[in-house]
């Protein structure tokens, strides 16, 4: 099976996360329960999933990560059903079809979104949904999202994105989001340098084979967010949550207690930014 063509090597990981959500959805005890994942499964997705096939623990964690962000977004939407939600690097995200409420922006590379639209048209979403094509390498994100800039509260999702960015690229992305959305809550997953070095060597090799690499260079990745004025609202260990949710294939609780660097090195973070407000930890 041939690997899918993409504009951006990181986009290939979207097929892996898709395959893992599909496997979760058809399991006896789904964690994320993304029933729309099967719409996108094809030979290309299976080819990428095969490349990552030996990475059982990382793969098993992906539906858990998705579920954690689902839960946090759902709480935001309960408070504000008309909340603008921007998913940057959306891949095959189907939240606009699954969650209740929201005015959604899905942002990703043209080729990926073209395929996505052919399998799950935006007009069929249960909520307002606009898909925005961006060539991330061209730095056109701010230009493409300028029509949606607002001072109203916005929810931003950066799922599976920040780990592949250098500090400078992360700083540039966050600064762009701050100019566009002066009041926003941001959901993302962050990995520490120690976590990657000790527990993700196989994943690092696979990512390099795709032409991408991890950019994390610190054991406190949240510090850059604080430097730019964000305030931490919440942090939850993905592997600890996996145990609580009964997810199969992730490290057992006893091992996480012995290895806090594993438990706390891979988390979903919730940050808040309000222009003019001093961030605090």
For residues 166 and 93, which has the higher predicted lDDT (pLDDT)?
Answer: 93
Instruction: Please identify which residue in the block is written with the tokens 């690092």.
Output: 204
Total H helices, total E strands in the chain: 13, 7
- What is the tens place of the pLDDT at every residue in 32-82? 999 999 999 988 888 888 888 778 888 899 999 999 999 999 999 999 999
The full set of domain ranges for the chain reads 56-274
The confidence score (pLDDT) of residue 7 equals 57
71: tokens are 């839960």
Query: Residue 49: in which H helix or E strand, if any?
Result: helix 43-51
| H-state helical runs in 99-248 | 110-119, 141-145, 167-180, 193-199, 201-209, 222-227, 238-245
Task: Report residue 237's pLDDT band, with 50, 70 and 90 as the boundaries.
Answer: very high
- 174's CB contacts (< 8 A; 6+ apart) are 224, 225, 228, 230
Beta bridge partners of 183: 274
For residues 166 and 84, which has the higher predicted lDDT (pLDDT)?
Answer: 84
Contact 37, 98 (CB under 8 A): no
| pLDDT over 90 percentage in the chain | 74
- Residue closest to 162 by CA, chosen among 228, 245, 113: 228
∠ at Cα 108 (105, 110), nearest 5°?
A: 115
CATH architecture of 56-274: 3-Layer(aba) Sandwich (3.40)
Lowest-confidence region among 14-18, 87-91, 152-156, 275-279: 275-279
Determine the Cα–Cα distance for residues 90 and 23; give it in Å rounded to an integer: 19
Q: What is the pTM of this model?
A: 0.93
Length of the chain, please?
A: 281
Q: What is the mean pLDDT of residues 130-154?
A: 94
| Long-range CB contacts for residues 278-281, cutoff 8 Å, separation at least 24 | 278/229, 279/225, 279/226, 279/228, 279/229, 279/230, 279/231, 280/231, 281/226, 281/231, 281/232
- The three-class DSSP label of residue 155 is strand
């Amino acid at each position: 099976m041939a690997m899918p063509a993409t504009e951006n090597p990181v986009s290939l990981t979207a097929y892996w996360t898709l395959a893992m959500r599909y496997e979760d959805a058809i399991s006896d005890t789904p964690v994320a329960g993304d029933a729309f994942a099967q719409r996108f499964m094809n030979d290309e997705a299976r080819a990428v999933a095969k490349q990552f096939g030996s990475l059982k623990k990382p793969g098993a964690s992906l539906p858990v990560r998705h579920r954690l962000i689902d839960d946090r977004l759902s709480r935001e939407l309960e408070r504000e059903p008309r909340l603008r939600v921007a998913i940057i690097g959306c891949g095959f995200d189907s939240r606009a079809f699954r969650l209740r409420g929201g005015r959604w922006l899905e942002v990703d590379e043209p080729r990926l979104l073209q395929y996505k639209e052919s399998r799950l048209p935006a007009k069929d979403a249960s909520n307002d949904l606009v898909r925005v094509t961006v060539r991330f390498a061209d730095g056109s994100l701010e230009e493409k999202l300028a029509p949606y800039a607002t001072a109203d509260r916005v929810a931003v999702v950066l799922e599976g994105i920040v780990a592949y960015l250098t500090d400078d690229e992360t700083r540039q992305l966050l600064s762009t989001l701050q100019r566009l959305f002066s009041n926003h809550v941001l959901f993302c997953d962050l990995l520490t340098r120690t976590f990657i070095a000790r527990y993700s060597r196989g994943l690092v090799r696979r990512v390099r084979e795709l032409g991408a690499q991890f950019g994390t260079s610190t054991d406190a990745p949240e510090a850059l967010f604080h430097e730019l004025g964000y305030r931490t609202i919440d942090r939850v260990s993905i592997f600890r949550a996996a145990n609580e949710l009964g997810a199969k294939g992730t490290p057992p609780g006893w091992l996480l207690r012995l290895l806090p660097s594993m438990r706390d090195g891979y988390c979903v973070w919730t940050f808040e930014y309000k222009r003019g407000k001093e961030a605090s930890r």
